């Protein structure tokens, strides 16, 4: 296994990480921003008010994109195992 193979594994892992975590983080950011703007407009200074809408939005995002996330992770896992077998590192 060369350094190039390891770099390829790491690069692919980071791309998968961005694909899986990116949508969830963006939804959490947008919901937090909207609730914070509403709090600023109405002058409600309740720090726990952001938690429930953000939790619901993130759960809905994971529910909607869960199939895509599992498929992407499964494809990456198969790819890693195929590359390990191709390199002859399997017992």
User: Residue 11 above 80 pLDDT?
Assistant: yes
pLDDT for position 87: 78
Length of the chain: 91
Residue pair 50/36 in contact by the 8 Å Cβ criterion: yes
pTM of the model: 0.79
pLDDT in tens, 23-80: 999 999 999 999 989 988 988 888 788 899 999 999 999 999 999 999 999 999 999 8
Rg (CA), the chain: 20
One DSSP character per residue, 11-64 reads: HHHHHHHHHHHHHHHHHHHHHHHHHHHHHHHHT---TTTTHHHHHHHHHHHHHH
């Amino acid at each position: 296994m060369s350094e190039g193979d390891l770099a390829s594994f790491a690069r692919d892992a980071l791309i998968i990480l961005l694909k899986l975590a990116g949508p969830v983080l963006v939804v959490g950011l947008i919901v937090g921003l909207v609730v914070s703007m509403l709090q600023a407009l109405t002058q409600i200074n309740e720090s726990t008010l952001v938690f429930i809408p953000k939790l619901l939005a993130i759960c809905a995002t994971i529910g909607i994109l869960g199939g895509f996330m599992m498929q992407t992770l499964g494809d990456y896992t198969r790819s890693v195992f195929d590359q390990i077998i191709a390199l002859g590192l399997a017992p």
